[in-house]
Amino acid sequence: MAETTGPISTLPGHGHDLPEGQMCDEHEDRPAVARVQGETDSMGAELMDMCQECLNQYKEERKTADTSGKCDWCGKHAEKRREARDYEEGMNGPVYDVCQTCIDKREAEAAAYLASHENDDDFYDDPIDDEVYDSEQSDYFDGD
């Protein structure tokens, strides 16, 4: 039986560990050979358990799927869109259908942001202040 997750950072099509002895969701008499992430949103994802026949059919459908349509970010028509998340909404946020122009723009902005902090020694440090661990303020972690 297909399983659902809570919030998840991976996108549709991602493969997941298949429990031993799992049977196909469509053909209950066949062993599953793959667990693939299906419909995904900010609440979680459906994981589909597939036998070899279903997996082959799924792969073929993904190859030939019509991904054209309106980009969720810029609103323009695109011949090809792909699933993506907005970094500012977190890696468990909504999944959008986005054109390559918007993907490229987002990647360039992210690269520029990281480059702007290239010489900032504190930027990549652990955000928790190390002094808290070494001080008498340990009650912060004790729940007091």
Identify whether 138 is part of a domain: no
| Residue 27 · residue 51 · CB < 8 Å | yes
Q: How confident is the model at residue 90 (pLDDT cuts 50, 70, 90)?
A: confident
- C-beta neighbour count of 65 within 10 angstroms: 8
Q: Looking at the structure, tell me whether residues 72 and 43 fall in a common domain.
A: no
Domains contained in the chain, number:
2
Query: CA-to-CA distance for 38 and 95, rounded, in angstroms?
Result: 12
Q: Looking at the structure, tell me whether residues 8 and 58 fall in a common domain.
A: yes
Q: Looking at the structure, tell me whether residues 53 and 74 fall in a common domain.
A: no
Q: Looking at the structure, tell me whether residues 70 and 57 fall in a common domain.
A: no
Q: Looking at the structure, tell me whether residues 24 and 84 fall in a common domain.
A: no
Q: Looking at the structure, tell me whether residues 4 and 57 fall in a common domain.
A: yes
Comparing 132 with 26, which gets the higher pLDDT? 26
Identify whether 60 is part of a domain: yes
Identify whether 130 is part of a domain: no
Query: What global pTM score does this model have?
Result: 0.72
For residue 122, give the 3-state DSSP assignment: coil
Q: Looking at the structure, tell me whether residues 48 and 1 fall in a common domain.
A: yes
**What are the tens digits of pLDDT across the range 13-70?**
999 999 999 999 999 999 999 999 999 998 999 999 999 999 999 999 999 999 999 9
